């Protein structure tokens, strides 16, 4: 089947209370691992690309590799721009064949965020592409956007309703306590499920998106550290919390950090255990297997999107 938008998969997720994994891709191994895991689980999946990924891999390579994955599999796959920084980047992705874009106006004030989101929605919808917008600020680093933890602002449920009505966006990324990267919580992990519930009350039919949702898998951090890495004190969102998020109204769960850890852990392990290896297929193959395992676990045991294709 060809690339799809997120419309149908989100409708199903709202009706059946599960979430769809949105995984960041940067090269062939990520694309193969994610789509093979989703295909084997018969799950819909979202492949997402940041501006940094486009700079690294180049648009044509990413598109062609995603097209290849679509041909190799038999599940709904959406291609999404992650954290689109401006109208021009969104337009470039829409014109290149993406089926979904995010305009991240969270760095602007409310009115400016409404204005830029509306502009992207108008163009995207004229081309049959759907739009994710963001309201509220995540702590940590979002691509080009730096938000200090003190500035972190949760999404206001009433503002969220006004924002969606005025912009016409198709899905909304919210801030309820997650953050990007490997250091999400200083003490215990805590998500504001009360705010999520209020947002869902206001917007029962709008797909809700959770960014910064890696669990920072302890085994992968340990494998990195045991093989020469230095990632002390990393902490993410526990699986149970993400499962609860999927069951209580989150339709899209964004994961990048966990796949970076999976790749790095295996590359480090092979380098340490087999110092004579210099065939990249040996360490990239092991990395691809670990990414696939990580994605399969999330899809089946945490997001519950297996057999929903
Ligand atoms: O939320 C940001 C994603 O993890 C993408 O990160 O801009 O380094 O590709 P990146
Ligand atoms: P993580 O850093 O938690 O993987 O979040 C990724 C993300 O939100 C991409 O938009
Ligand atoms: Zn994000």
Does the pLDDT at position 56 exceed 70?
Answer: yes
Angle value at C-alpha 66, between 60 and 70, nearest 5 degrees: 140
Q: Is residue 83 exposed (0-12), middle (13-18) or buried (19+ Cβ within 10 Å)?
A: buried
pLDDT score, position 152? 54
Does the pLDDT at position 49 exceed 70?
Answer: yes
Residue with structure tokens 């680093």?
141
The rounded Cα 292 to chain-centroid distance in angstroms is: 16
pLDDT score, position 140? 61
Give the residue-averaged pLDDT of 15-23: 98
**109 Cα–ligand 1 center, Å:** 22
pLDDT score, position 144? 45
Does the pLDDT at position 150 exceed 80?
Answer: no
255 is written with which tokens? Answer: 């994961």
pLDDT score, position 1? 84
CA 54 to CA 67: how far, in whole Å? 16
Tell whether ligand 2 has an atom less than 6 A from the beta carbon of residue 254: yes
Q: 219 and 229 in contact (C-beta within 8 Å)?
A: no
Counting ligands in written order, the one closest to the CA of 134 is: 3
- Ligand 1: lining residues by beta carbon, under 6 Å: 24, 50, 52-53, 82-83, 142-143, 180, 256
Does the pLDDT at position 147 exceed 80?
Answer: no
Q: Which residues contact 235 (CB under 8 A, 6 or more apart)?
A: 182, 183, 184, 185, 189, 216
Predicted confidence (pLDDT) per residue in 161-210, tens digit: 999 999 999 999 999 999 999 999 988 999 999 999 999 999 999 999 99
pLDDT score, position 263? 98
CA 22 to CA 33: how far, in whole Å? 13
Counting ligands in written order, the one closest to the CA of 144 is: 1
Give 109-129 as a DSSP string.
-HHHHHHHHHHHHHHHHHTT-
Angle value at C-alpha 302, between 220 and 42, nearest 5 degrees: 105
pLDDT score, position 60? 98
**42 Cα–ligand 3 center, Å:** 25
Give the nearest ligand 2 atom to 102 CA: 10
Residue with structure tokens 């599999």?
73
Does the pLDDT at position 148 exceed 80?
Answer: no
Of 119, 106, 56, 37, the C-alpha closest to 298 is 37
Helix, strand, or coil here: 48? strand
Ion ligand 3 residues within 5 Å by Cβ = 211
Q: Look at ligand 1, atom 4, and give the residue with the nearest C-alpha.
A: 256
- The best mutation among 142, 143, 216 to test binding of ligand 1, ranked by most ligand atoms within 8 Å of the C-beta, falls on 143
Percentage of the residues of the chain whose pLDDT score is greater than 70: 96
Catalytic residues: 82
Q: At what angle do helices 87-96 and 110-126 cross, to 10 degrees?
A: 20
Does the pLDDT at position 151 exceed 50?
Answer: no
Give the nearest ligand 2 atom to 181 CA: 2
First and final CA of the chain: distance in angstroms? 11
Over the chain, what is the mean pLDDT? 95
Predicted confidence (pLDDT) per residue in 95-143, tens digit: 999 999 999 999 999 999 999 999 999 999 999 999 999 999 887 644 4
pLDDT score, position 141? 46
Give the residue-averaged pLDDT of 67-72: 98
205 is written with which tokens? Answer: 């039919």
Q: Which residues contact 97 (CB under 8 A, 6 or more apart)?
A: 3, 63, 79
Predicted confidence (pLDDT) per residue in 234-276, tens digit: 999 999 999 999 999 999 999 999 999 999 999 999 999 999 9
**141 Cα–ligand 3 center, Å:** 9
Angle value at C-alpha 115, between 109 and 116, nearest 5 degrees: 90
> Would you say how long the chain is, in residues?
309
CA 209 to CA 86: how far, in whole Å? 19
Tell whether ligand 2 has an atom less than 6 A from the beta carbon of residue 180: yes
**7 Cα–ligand 2 center, Å:** 21
Counting ligands in written order, the one closest to the CA of 57 is: 1
Percentage of the residues of the chain whose pLDDT score is greater than 90: 94
């Amino acid at each position: 089947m060809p690339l799809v938008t997120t419309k149908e998969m989100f409708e199903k997720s709202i009706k059946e209370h599960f979430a769809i994994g949105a995984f960041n891709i940067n090269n062939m191994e990520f694309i193969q691992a994610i789509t093979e895991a989703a295909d084997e689980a018969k799950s819909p999946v979202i492949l997402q690309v940041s501006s940094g990924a486009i700079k690294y891999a180049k648009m044509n390579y990413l598109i062609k590799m995603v097209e290849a994955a679509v041909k190799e599999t038999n599940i709904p796959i959406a291609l999404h721009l992650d954290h689109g920084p401006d109208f021009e980047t969104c337009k470039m992705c829409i014109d290149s064949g993406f089926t979904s874009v995010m305009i991240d106006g969270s760095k602007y004030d409310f009115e400016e965020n409404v204005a830029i989101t509306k502009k992207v929605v108008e163009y995207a919808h004229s081309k049959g592409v759907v739009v994710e917008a963001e309201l509220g600020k995540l702590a940590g680093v979002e691509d080009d956007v730096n938000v200090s933890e003190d500035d972190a602002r949760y999404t206001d449920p009433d503002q969220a309703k006004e924002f969606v009505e005025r912009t016409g966006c198709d899905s909304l990324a919210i801030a309820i306590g997650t953050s990007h990267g490997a250091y999400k919580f200083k003490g215990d992990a805590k998500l504001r499920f009360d705010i999520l519930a209020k947002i869902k009350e206001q917007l029962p039919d709008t797909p809700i998106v959770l960014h910064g949702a890696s669990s920072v898998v302890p085994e992968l951090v340990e494998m990195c550290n045991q093989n020469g890495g230095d990632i002390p004190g990393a902490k993410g969102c526990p699986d149970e919390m993400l499962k609860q998020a999927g069951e209580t109204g989150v339709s899209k769960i964004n994961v990048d950090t966990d796949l970076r850890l999976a790749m790095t852990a295996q590359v480090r392990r092979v380098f340490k255990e087999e110092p004579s290896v210099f065939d990249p297929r040996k360490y990239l193959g092991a990395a691809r297997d670990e990414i696939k395992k990580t994605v399969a676990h999330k899809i089946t045991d945490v997001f519950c999107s297996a057999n929903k294709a």
